[in-house]
């Protein structure tokens, strides 16, 4: 693999200026960029930072690859089938490129941070001009300049540059809700997970820039800020202290955060959630399995009993406390009996929502080396069983809100009936209610009249 070195000495502002000129000479108009970010909220946030950088260079944006001069696929590496989908999408771009010789195609993100993926693109997808990983996005203007000036391909996978988008200006398209990264990378090395390999070790943003960013968002009308990190509880400058600082910001807004790791989430966090009025009363706490042997094989470093202790503490203080979680079904070596322990665990905790997946083998992780005798088809059946179980639990458990009034932030029209709006409550539950579109983006008190298996139905509490 030939890496084209990026000149670090060249001032980035000069490069942006040079690119702006080159773009005008090449296209004779404002060039358009299409960017698609796959996967998690962190990746979407990285995509917003890339958009911020490109808008500084003179790019506009389009929702279609058909009229795009620059196409960026910002990829995710967490699941194998998502990776194959990206290769399919890259393949489809070949035809567009044949009709537009000045089109530039870039692939970046977690997937391309893996050398074998970058090699595959270099060998088999010649239409791709630029490949970079989770580092070095600040060099994108120079990469585009090199492609347009010299028609050479640029591959930049080193980890020495500033990490993608830390403290970068983000071009956000949603005025109501915004994500704010507070840390990058992960130190935990759960045995199934590729993230520490592609995003590196934990790095926290300092508190002041985070506070300033949230202040500015709130001043501009943002109503919900979600703090992002692979494990926000290990934020270097104290996560609870950060929540307190953000809670002190003037304005009518709420604070969410993802994700927490059960080994680091304790009573102090629950107390903060319950005592700070702007922090949403919900905790997304990925458990992954309800079986201790599997948790140990996953290197999660907590037991189901320790997890339950957090749940019980929260529910003792606030019986309606809302938890959601992530579950992996069919981890290598998992037996049906162990899977059933997870189903029992769901009944015990009563999550309002779970995100469940069949285990996906990731090259380079420890779990990828474990023997795995259960077929994908069988795992698919287990997953279905788990989803049905959870649906029943959630329908019953959500009914605790019937007759109560929740504060909802509607962000769009309801999916079914005309005249209905949809949004999430403080407890992170989807709520539909009849209301005027003018209410979108405002907090509304909604009295709950019915629990469905995934959401609540309510009416405005007058
Ligand atoms: S905590 Fe575990 S699952 Fe989450 S990103 Fe880190 S290694 Fe992956």
- What are the pLDDT digits (tens) for 305-326? 999 999 999 999 999 999 999 9
Ligand 1 neighbourhood includes 197 CB (under 6 angstroms): no
Q: Whose CA is nearest to atom 1 of ligand 1?
A: 188
**What is the per-residue pLDDT for 43?**
92
- Tell me the CA–centroid distance for residue 271 and ligand 1, in Å: 24
If we measure between CA atoms, which residue out of 147, 143, 154 comes closest to residue 1? 154
- Tell me the CA–centroid distance for residue 328 and ligand 1, in Å: 13
Ligand 1 neighbourhood includes 231 CB (under 6 angstroms): yes
Strand partners, 1: none
Ligand 1 neighbourhood includes 89 CB (under 6 angstroms): no
Task: Specify whether the CB–CB gap between 229 and 235 falls below 8 A.
Answer: yes
**What is the per-residue pLDDT for 415?**
76
Which CA distances in Å does 405 have to 22, 118, 392, 425, 445? 57, 52, 23, 10, 6
Low-confidence ranges of the chain (pLDDT < 50): 1-9, 162, 164
Task: Specify whether the CB–CB gap between 5 and 139 falls below 8 A.
Answer: no
Pairing, β 353-358 against β 322-329: parallel
Q: What are the φ/ψ torsions at residue 364 (nearest 5 degrees)?
A: 100, -10
pTM for the predicted model, two decimal places: 0.93
Residues 6+ apart with CB under 8 A from 391: 453, 454
Ligand 1 neighbourhood includes 42 CB (under 6 angstroms): no
* Residue among 184, 188, 199, 301 whose CB has most ligand 1 atoms within 8 A, to mutate: 188
* Residue among 191, 203, 231 whose CB has most ligand 1 atoms within 8 A, to mutate: 231
Pairing, β 60-61 against β 32-37: parallel
Please give the domain boundaries of the chain with CATH numbers for all domains: 12-156 (3.40.50.280), 177-397 (3.80.30.20), 402-460 (2.40.50.140)
- Tell me the CA–centroid distance for residue 187 and ligand 1, in Å: 8
For CA atoms 301, 304, 306, 308, the dihedral sign is positive
Which CA distances in Å does 400 have to 277, 343, 417, 448, 456? 21, 21, 24, 10, 11
Ligand 1 neighbourhood includes 4 CB (under 6 angstroms): no
Residue 137 tokens read as: 């996005």
Strand partners, 311: none
Pairing, β 203-204 against β 405-413: unpaired
**What is the per-residue pLDDT for 7?**
41
Task: Specify whether the CB–CB gap between 165 and 429 falls below 8 A.
Answer: no
Q: How many whole angstroms separate alpha carbon 217 and alpha carbon 24?
A: 32
């Amino acid at each position: 693999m030939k890496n084209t070195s990026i000149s670090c000495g060249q001032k980035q502002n000069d490069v942006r200026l040079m690119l702006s000129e080159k773009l005008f000479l090449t296209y004779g108009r404002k060039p358009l960029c299409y960017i698609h970010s796959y996967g998690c909220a962190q990746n979407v946030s990285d995509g917003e930072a890339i958009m911020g950088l490109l808008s500084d260079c003179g790019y506009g944006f389009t929702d279609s690859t058909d009229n795009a001069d620059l196409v960026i696929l910002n990829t995710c590496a967490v699941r194998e089938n998502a990776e194959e989908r990206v290769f399919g999408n890259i393949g489809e771009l070949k035809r567009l490129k044949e009709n537009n010789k000045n089109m530039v195609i870039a692939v970046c993100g977690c997937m391309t941070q893996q050398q074998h993926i970058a090699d595959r693109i270099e060998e088999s997808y010649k239409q791709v001009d630029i490949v970079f990983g989770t580092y070095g996005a600040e060099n994108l203007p120079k990469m585009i300049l090199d492609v347009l000036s010299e028609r050479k391909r640029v591959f930049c996978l080193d980890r020495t540059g500033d990490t993608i988008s830390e403290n970068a200006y983000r071009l956000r398209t949603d005025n109501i809700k915004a994500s704010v990264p507070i840390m990058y990378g992960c130190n935990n090395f759960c045995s199934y997970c590729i993230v520490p390999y592609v995003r590196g070790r934990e790095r926290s943003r300092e508190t002041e820039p985070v506070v300033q960013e949230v202040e500015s968002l709130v001043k501009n009308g943002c109503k919900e800020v979600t703090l992002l990190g692979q494990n926000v509880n290990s934020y270097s400058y104290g996560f609870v202290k950060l929540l307190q600082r953000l809670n002190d910001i003037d304005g009518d807004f709420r604070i969410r955060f993802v994700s927490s790791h059960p080994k680091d989430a304790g009573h102090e966090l629950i107390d903060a959630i319950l005592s700070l009025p702007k922090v949403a009363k919900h905790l997304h706490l990925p458990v992954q399995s309800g079986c201790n042997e599997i948790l140990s094989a996953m290197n999660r470093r907590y037991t189901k009993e320790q997890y339950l202790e957090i749940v019980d503490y929260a529910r003792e203080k606030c019986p309606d406390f809302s938890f959601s979680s992530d579950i992996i079904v069919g981890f290598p070596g998992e037996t049906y009996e162990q899977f059933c322990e997870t189903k029992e665990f769901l009944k015990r905790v009563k999550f309002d929502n779970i995100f469940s997946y069949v285990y996906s083998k990731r090259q380079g992780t420890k779990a990828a080396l474990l023997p795995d005798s259960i077929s994908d088809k069988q795992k698919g059946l287990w997953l279905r069983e788990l989803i049905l179980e959870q649906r029943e639990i959630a329908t019953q458990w959500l009914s605790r809100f019937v007759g109560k009034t929740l504060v909802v932030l509607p962000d769009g029209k309801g999916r079914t009936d005309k005249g209905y709006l949809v949004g999430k409550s403080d407890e992170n539950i989807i709520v539909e209610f009849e209301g005027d579109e003018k209410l979108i983006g405002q907090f509304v008190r909604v009295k709950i009249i019915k629990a469905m298996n995934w959401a609540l139905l309510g009416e405005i509490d007058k």
